[in-house]
Amino acid sequence: MRAWLTGIRSSGFAAIMLGLVVLAAFVLVPTIGTYLDQRQRVAALEEAVEVGEERVADLEAQRERWTDPAYITTQARERLYFVAPGEVVYLIDNDLPPQDVPQEPAAVSDEVQTTRTDWMGQMVRSITEAGLSRTVTGTTEP
């Protein structure tokens, strides 16, 4: 009888310990989930700060370039076609001789040709036929 009571006592202890482990899991799991969620947010915010710092550095470098008079002159010449007094600028649109200007593009392949189909009409017909078709709800056995 004494051995039986000892077994009940040890199994009762095991049940209490199991209950405490389950209770600890219920208490810690939401906390761990919140911690992981906050770590992800912190990582995303750190990445956003890094991108912002890179953007600020680029803008500061660009601002420094714009303080240089030579850069301003170069940009005015390239972007706005400004010229210094007394200079003459020539803009050439087609500088190729007429014989070198490609008239028609060469064929890519002898076998591949363009088709003369009305793809839009075919697509509309396909959609209307699909929408108007009847579906089979079940099989009928004779």
Per-residue confidence at 47, pLDDT binned at 50, 70, 90? very high
- pLDDT cut 90: percent of the chain above it: 25
Q: Between these two residues, 1 and 20, which has the higher pLDDT value?
A: 20
Instruction: Give residue 83's pLDDT.
Output: 86
Strands (E), 38-125: none
pLDDT score recorded for residue 3 = 64
Residue 74's identity, in one-letter code, is: T
Q: Which residue has the higher pLDDT, 78 or 104?
A: 78
Q: What does each C-alpha distance from 20 to 8, 13, 17, 34, 140 come to in angstroms?
A: 18, 11, 5, 22, 61
Q: What is the pLDDT of residue 112?
A: 67
Threshold 0.85, pTM exceeds: no
123: number of Cβ within 10 Å: 10
Distance CA 18, CA 16 (A): 5
Contact 46, 40 (CB under 8 A): no
Q: Where are the alpha helices (DSSP H) in the chain?
A: 2-66, 69-80, 119-132
- Are 76 and 70 a contacting pair, CB within 8 Å? no
CA-CA distance, 73 to 16, in Å (whole number)? 84
What value does the mean pLDDT take over residues 98-124? 75
